[in-house]
Structure 1
Amino acid sequence: MPTTITDDRDAELRALMMMASHDMKSPLATVSAHVQMLREDYADELGDEFRRDLAAIERALRRMSQLTQDLLDYARADHTLDRSPVELREIIGEVITDHVAEPDEALVTLTGTWPVVTGDAGLLRHVLDNLIGNAVKYTPAGVAPQIEIEAWALPDGGIRVEVADHGIGVPAEDRQKIFDAFHRCANTGGRLGTGLGLAICRRIIERHGGTIGVEENIGGGSRFWFDLPSGAGADHTPPTPFAHQKLFR
């Protein structure tokens, strides 16, 4: 299929996004470092109002840093896939450790059969990191996250992975829009976010030839899933079964 003007413009926009977001990282790091120095050197001397101002600056910096990283990831999602055998089970263990500092902080259950898949390990890790991170992030305050992660083979030879939680859930009217860039649900409760994370996930899964979606979880919360087709599915490495293995707590 020939390249269209729209394709060229989209590629140019992604290249601009990557360049701009990459170039913003250094000045943001510099500002953050100086704010930290101000906090350490003067916060006690200048009182509560000064500390409140610093806190406001730090919140804005965190949001800018997150947006910069999300824009960079969004642009990178269209790069050529670096395909190799990928141990999804191993990646999930690492991602959970990143998001749950202490074993008693969450109940995470892993079930199903996890084959080695062929895909871009870095991009697939990004998808799992986002879905598991959201399951933790959107659990109500004061409640330990409960996350069930499951995989199974599809009739056509592909694989489905599900990440279910018992958090605040996705309103029915938002389920068709939640994977659109910059869309945020009304029930996020002011939690930090840019509305790009799930759009990046959709792009990555689609580039692997798969699909992604979300459903209501029975008992409350959300059930995010993605399918990888047989071409990006099971490799020749024998699958490893995990029956209700509790990774934490």
Structure 2
Amino acid sequence: MSDAALLTVEGVTAGYGRVTVLHGISLDAGRFGNVGLFGPNGHGKTTLLRAVSGLVAPKKGTIRFDGEDITGRSARAIVATGLIHVPQGNRLFPDLTIADCMALGAFSPRARPHEAANREKVVKLFPKLGERWRQRVRTLSGGERQMVSIGTALMSHPRLLILDEPTLGLSPKVKDELCAAVLDISQSGVPLIVVEQDIEFLLELCQQLYLVDHGTVATEIRPGESIEHAEIMAMYFGH
């Protein structure tokens, strides 16, 4: 693992209109391995991811990806660098087929040469998508749509993949399938930033954890710093 962070967020303040959600937040990712973000709902985790991926413009601070300043760049320009964000919830075009979505995922010049190889990886990771390749997104289950979202992101040939609550609202069986797929993605060499309510999964997947509370980092847990599930839950609920 390189000593240099792949992503660095320094003193970022951001929000929506007059409402400030992030208050000078700082963290880095890719130095120690996968990063997990946890904390109460409404305290800035999703806003942080949106700022990193160009969906929210920071009011202050700096965001660097692989040493390059990407602060305030468009989402399209950030995707072109290989920083790929799978947002929370179903954000797919319902009338596109799975095949259409995969083709869109590979639209950038850096992803296009890898389209065939990445398509093969996606179908191997999510065999159900291969079976339903020509089906429209609106005909799929919630779990299958989440597979499409992650598969489309993989078609973009990510250098860093951000997942915002990938198992939210899924049945236990489908959730286990998604968790296994995310672990496989990590083991294939793609570094991850994951927001997830399932603390056990974060502990299994991530080497570095951040507790985000009221728009700042309240606690950072690095490799070698022993932490138990009960301790994280105590942080989570403020006890």
Greater share of helix: 1
Whether these two folds match at TM > 0.5 is: no
TM-score for the superposition, normalised by structure 2: 0.29
Larger Rg: 1
